[in-house]
Amino acid sequence: METLKFRILVVTVLFSGLLLNAQTAARQSAFSKSYELENASNYASAIKEVKTVFDTDDYFCNIRLGWLYYLSKNYTESIKYYDKAISLKPYAIEARFGCIKPLSASENWEKVKAHYLQILKIDPQNTTANYWLGVIYYNRKQYSSAANLFGKVINLYPLDYDSVIMLAWTKLYLGKMGDAKVLFNHALTIRPNDVSAVAGLKLIK
């Protein structure tokens, strides 16, 4: 009796292993085909390939569909799949960055801002989130908040032109002309004859 039970167990384990290998192979094949179709800009077919192996609790499937729906400009579906991916791995910032794309395309700036803030809770030094959240604050004329974020990026990357020029303009609008002048000149050192930096210096008397 014990021998029979052992044989059944062995067969079950072997069958489970074969089934798992088959599922893995099918998943890899579907993703491979989806990449080829994406490269050919055939997003609808790429989506169909992923859906042949879709599992609602599979982070990879959800983030892949979020991306493909974004490329096909179906932003509502894109956001839905990115949101699911975020719920599966709340501390994975790649899904949040992914979701920001369809949200930006939909001009849903409050949710974009919320994602950047959440990313910075997880990764306070993330330069992409610091910079683009700074841009949002700058566009809203919330210059003190913008200056803080641009400053964080420059502390990490002092030669990052985009952050330097944005902080220069931010300082100018804050009335900190001395700081702005230093930053505009720094921008000109990074990028000689830069139009934005030259224009900024002309406004400083």
pLDDT digit of tens for each residue in the chain (205 aa)? 555 454 554 445 444 444 445 467 878 888 899 999 999 999 999 999 999 998 999 999 999 999 999 999 999 999 999 999 999 999 999 999 999 999 999 999 999 999 999 999 999 999 999 999 999 999 999 999 999 999 999 999 999 999 999 999 999 999 999 999 999 999 999 999 999 999 999 999 7
Amino acid letter at 118?
Answer: Q
Query: Do 46 and 68 contact (CB within 8 A), yes or no?
Result: yes
Same domain, 143 and 173: yes
> Of 59, 90, 123, at which residue does a domain stop?
123
Tell me the Ramachandran region of residue 101: left when phi exceeds 0, alpha when psi lies from -120 to 50, beta otherwise. Answer: alpha
**Boundary of a domain, candidates 63, 88, 123:** 123
Residue 158's domain is classified under what CATH number?
A: 1.25.40.10
* Structural domain boundaries enclosing 198: 127-205
Compute the distance between CA of residue 126 and CA of residue 166 in angstroms, rounded to an integer: 17
In a domain, 140, yes or no: yes
Judgement on whether residues 74 and 141 belong to the same structural domain of the protein: no
Number of domains in the chain: 2
| 151 within some domain | yes
